[in-house]
Copies of this chain bind each other. A is one copy, B any other.
């Protein structure tokens, strides 16, 4: 049996989804691949903050989960192309909502933190 990855301990289906798309770089990888097939180095350049090791790792996991396909060209120098599957396309809208909500949340947090210094309401009766 492949322990695969986190096999979310909570039976929660939402958790399961996150275990599939929740790797640190997986959303980014998916978004990039959803825009077209890419070779390894292209991805690496597009996501420079991810180590090659981690990138490979996440790609393998996505592949194991059927989210992407990996095509190897037996040439020298070697070439490998990654592309999104239909399954990946089916999460695209979710990725979109996730991104939108995240942006709103981020904006909200910033407004909050800008306000703090100006209204120290807790100090009035301190």
A residues contacting B by CB (< 8 A) are: 8-10, 12-18, 20-22, 24-25, 27-28, 47, 49-50, 65-66, 87, 90-91, 93-95, 97-106, 108, 112
Say how many copies of this protein the assembly contains.
2
Which 3 residue pairs are nearest across A and B when measured between Cβ atoms? A13-B102, A14-B98, A16-B102
Query: Which chain B positions have C-beta within 8 A of A14?
Result: 21, 27, 95, 98-99, 102
Query: Which chain B positions have C-beta within 8 A of A27?
Result: 10, 12, 14-15, 18
A105 to B8, CA, bound (A): 13
A14 to B29, CA, bound (A): 12
Query: Which chain B positions have C-beta within 8 A of A9?
Result: 24, 49
Is the CB–CB distance between B13 and A106 below 8 Å? yes
A8-B24 in contact given A15-B102, A97-B94, A101-B90 (Cβ < 8 Å) = yes
